[in-house]
Amino acid sequence: MNDKALDQQLVVRVQQGDKSAYDLLVRKYQNRVVSLIRRYVRNPMDAEDVAQEAFIKAYRALANFRGDSAFYTWLYRIAINTAKNWLVSQGRRPPLADVDYADAESMDESGRFSENASPERMALQAEIVDNIQQVVDHLPQDLRTAITLREAEGFSYEDIAEAMDCPVGTVRSRIFRARDAIDKKLKPLLEQ
């Protein structure tokens, strides 16, 4: 049984009153949702609170879930909207992401920095990540969302189209334009 079918089965059980089935869904997606929300809400404690609020909202709305999309895609939308609403209530603008690719590249499987992580290399990687983040932060919202879903979340083009409520061709165009903007900004830095 694939993930979507298993999730749908758990949703049906929750809709029939089995609260323990929702606990399974929460456990399954809790880390992903918190990680997703951390891209908007940088404080880990606040991110956990916002994630909890998103799961509560999802539970209350689960009776209306029809299964037209994957459960995680539906939950993703709720989580993002909850994070954005939290930021607005705090008087802040949503950032794009909290991903530090340089650190991930410099660490080995045990979580320690690898031997090839020289200070110069780490500084260059940090500068590249900063530049990427600046470009992405200044992209229009539709391009930012598309590139984040693709590169940070690993969504397929079809799932992005569903999450953004637009055709797959539009998703491809938005991701292409976002990547092109990033490439133009990084080219001079990489040529140095």
Give the predicted TM-score (pTM) of the model: 0.54
User: What are 74's two structure tokens?
Assistant: 């539906």
* Boundary of a domain, candidates 68, 89, 110: 89
On whether both 123 and 163 belong to a single domain, the answer is yes
| Radius of gyration in angstroms for the set of CA atoms belonging to the chain, rounded to a whole number | 19
Residue 92 confidence (pLDDT): 60
Q: How far is it, in rounded angstroms, from Cα 23 to Cα 18?
A: 9
On whether both 111 and 61 belong to a single domain, the answer is no
On whether both 10 and 82 belong to a single domain, the answer is yes
On whether both 78 and 128 belong to a single domain, the answer is no
On whether both 112 and 76 belong to a single domain, the answer is no
On whether both 120 and 181 belong to a single domain, the answer is yes
94 domain-assigned = no
Residue 93 confidence (pLDDT): 52
Residue 137 confidence (pLDDT): 80
On whether both 46 and 109 belong to a single domain, the answer is no
Residue 56 confidence (pLDDT): 93
**CATH number of the CATH domain containing 174:** 1.10.10.10
Q: How far is it, in rounded angstroms, from Cα 107 to Cα 185?
A: 26
Mean pLDDT throughout 126-135?
77
* Boundary of a domain, candidates 27, 60, 89: 89
On whether both 85 and 117 belong to a single domain, the answer is no
117 domain-assigned = yes
Q: At a CB cut-off of 8 Å and minimum separation 6, what does 36 contact? A: 76, 79, 80, 83, 153
Residue 170 confidence (pLDDT): 93
- Residue 73 region by backbone torsions, left for phi larger than 0, else alpha for psi between -120 and 50, else beta: alpha
The one-character DSSP state at 114 is P
Mean pLDDT throughout 2-18?
87
On whether both 83 and 118 belong to a single domain, the answer is no
**Residue 50 confidence (pLDDT) above 90:** yes
96 domain-assigned = no
Give the number of domains in the chain.
Answer: 2
Q: Which domain holds residue 9?
A: 3-89
**Residue 105 confidence (pLDDT) above 80:** no
